[in-house]
Amino acid sequence: MVEVLVAGSKTTVLNFGLLELATQLEGVTIKSVINKSRSQNPTAVAGAMMISVEEAERFAGSFDGIERVVKRYAGTTGSVNNAGISTHSNPPTATMFRVEGVEIITPAHFYGMGTHGTGDVSAFHTNLLANSDYYTAAAPAEMGNTMGGVMDISLRSGNSENYEHSVKLSTLGLDLTSEGPLSKNGSSYIISYRYGLTKMMNDLGWGILEGDQSDYQDLSLKLNFPIGKSSNLSLWGIGIFDECYMDWDSWKEEWNTLYDQNDFLSKVNNMTAGATYDANLGKGWRWKTNFVASYRKSNIADRYAIYATDGQILTNENHYDLDFAPATPFVQFDNETLWLTFATSVQKRFSSHNFLKAGASLRHIDYYQKLQRAATFYTGVLLPVNNTDRNMEQVDAYVTDNLRYGKFTFNAGLHLSGWTLSDDWTLQPRVSAEYKPKDNHAIAFGYGMTTFIEYYDTYFAVKDNQNLKPMRSNQFVLNYSWQPSLSYSFKTEAWFESQNAVPVSDVSTYTSLNRRLFYTDQALVNEGKGRNYGISIGAEHYMTDGVYWLINGALYKCEYKAIDRVWRSTLYDRGWTANIVGGKEWKIKNKNILSFNVAFTAMGGLRQTPFDDNTSAQLYAEGSPYVAYYDSQAMKNHTDAVLDLSANISYRIHGKKTDHIIGCDFINILAQKEPLQEYYNYRTHKVQTIMSCYTLPNISYTIIF
């Protein structure tokens, strides 16, 4: 039996799904079996898996985030410096997040502030999550607008019988969680609030850090209201509030590049609220309706410390002695995005063999952006690049039918996707099948065509970009799984994905697949192509007798074809990855628990285009912070391989009414660095890759009562 932690002072709720099977039997024995090798969604039989909250809480280096757990599984990778997920070597921007069955704006702190399409910390605290699904490819027909993976998040309801609370103080900040009943009819609430350490200290006037500072807060909640005996209304939401800035007066280091003089300020608010009505209509019918509003506002300023207070140009030699004037503006990017989404679905189980589901959603989008940029970093005069205030709609509809006969399961569906900005409508087939020669063996195949809408600023960089069609992706996946016992599983998977209508530049090798900056001003056409293929293999031992582990690896290739019709590697074509994760728990005095967990990932480096030092020197002399590359050799080089080691240790003291947990979760112990951005080094007269390193011991104390 897969083990689940049962805390002495906290109610543990287990939800079991029943799979209907018509068989003539003499007797019945019911056992609870958690099959982690497949998703909770009955229409997904290939390219899908279940991610448990237990893993998010145990895995070393997870920082209570489900995204960092997913990166330890075969076929997915990500940087050691952020929580972005690259599935089958697709860019992190292609990973879609859903909550309660509806796509939402990515719920991550500092998302898009630096590296495009990634965030640093998950904004959904694990206390609020139920077991969730992750899809690597060929997702079921109910899911649209995805080229990479799909993180399908489920929120758990609060305890409807008892009040429970927890307080956690850590290196990252303060976490508060409370849940309990709202009335005697089964209504409940759960709410979680996190307050970043630097934000807390600065608000109290106890500034403790110099240089980069990242302040964050988030608030998540779910209210659950049973209506009668067969329906339920839930209200849920999340608010994310981030701010990053630098304090130049405290920097006393030697300058080599404009990166040393860069003053990057950003402020992002990201809020989502939803209402979900779920009703059992009887005779096998079930109806679910969602209304979700998402709003994201960001203000980002890229500035450079160029002048002193007396107007003198700062240099490496004099910046120690001169007072800084306000940094010279170079880029100012402001945008606001509002989603209003209505989604409804109906499902019917006609028999033990046939399950049908259909649904539709309409999303109204209001988008505003204002991009300004100076002619040079010396002028400080921001000039308009583009100014957009538009609205558009995204329409999705689907139908899927699941058939089960003996050893065979077959699922077929259609997804209709509409994007009104370019008046694009596509009908996408989805099909998957599974054959189980024995109860513990399964062979599955899946195919799906999907479309993917880029970041909205892509479409407004220049006027003609509004005619861009969403990218098309044809995804094939084949997997074999073997579960010799309830505690062990083995799985291998092969995939091939072909992308069409990829946005590329008509004058260079640029493609949106390789985008890294927080803004774009590229003119693009749908003339590119992409492809990725690979194979993964892995084995896992679920938590049993206090021990769990997993080991896996993958080999893959990811390429794109630009306007010149030459196949090249993409930025995220690391080539290979391997993971070893494990942990052990010991019972102390028959009730307390000592836990030790370790996670190790080795993976190839990112791709990089060779630098043109001479042209970069000319750009710098003209007042441009950008560097030049040998465009014809795009993504030719590989950066160094990455070795990511994380570990955590905790001691849990069980009491009758109170639990105490003391722990330390250390991420990136080996202090591995990865490329951040390139700048011209005006001392060596060569382009220099700025390396980023995110390593942190998160020491924590938690009390649960």
The list of the chain residues with pLDDT below 70 reads 1-38, 114-115, 198-212, 247-252
Cα 31 from Cα 273, distance rounded (Å): 38
Q: Is residue 22 part of a domain?
A: no
Q: Is residue 284 part of a domain?
A: yes
Q: Is residue 29 part of a domain?
A: no
Q: Is residue 14 part of a domain?
A: no
Q: Which residues pair with 264 in a beta bridge?
A: 302
3-class SS at 433?
A: strand
Please state the domain count of the chain.
Answer: 1
Cα 182 from Cα 188, distance rounded (Å): 5
Contacts of residue 149, Cβ cutoff 8 Å, sequence gap at least 6:
70, 76, 85, 87, 88, 90, 94, 95, 96, 134, 135, 136, 137
Is residue 141 within 8 A of residue 413, CB to CB? The reply is yes
Q: Is residue 389 part of a domain?
A: yes
Contacts of residue 558, Cβ cutoff 8 Å, sequence gap at least 6:
88, 89, 90, 530, 531, 532, 569, 570, 572, 573
Is residue 474 within 8 A of residue 449, CB to CB? The reply is yes
Q: Which single residue is written with the structure tokens 């391997």? A: 578
Q: Is the torsion defined by CA of 477, 482, 485, 488 positive or negative?
A: negative
Structural domain containing residue 220: 48-289+299-704
- Here the CATH number for the domain that contains residue 123 is 2.40.170.20
Is residue 313 within 8 A of residue 319, CB to CB? The reply is no
**pLDDT of 226:** 96
**pLDDT of 202:** 64
Cα 493 from Cα 501, distance rounded (Å): 27
**pLDDT of 9:** 54
> Which DSSP state fits 10?
S
Cα 467 from Cα 382, distance rounded (Å): 28
**pLDDT of 20:** 52
**pLDDT of 10:** 57
Q: Phi/psi of residue 67, each to 5°?
A: -65, -40
Q: Which single residue is written with the structure tokens 């287990």? A: 14
Is residue 194 within 8 A of residue 130, CB to CB? The reply is no
Cα 130 from Cα 52, distance rounded (Å): 7
Q: Is residue 332 part of a domain?
A: yes
Q: Is residue 32 part of a domain?
A: no
Cα 458 from Cα 421, distance rounded (Å): 12
Q: Is residue 359 part of a domain?
A: yes
Q: Which residues pair with 690 in a beta bridge?
A: 677
Question: Token pair for residue 149?
Answer: 């993976």
Strand intervals (E) in 626-685: 628-629, 637-638, 642-653, 659-667, 674-681
> What is the radius of gyration, based on Cα positions, of the chain?
26
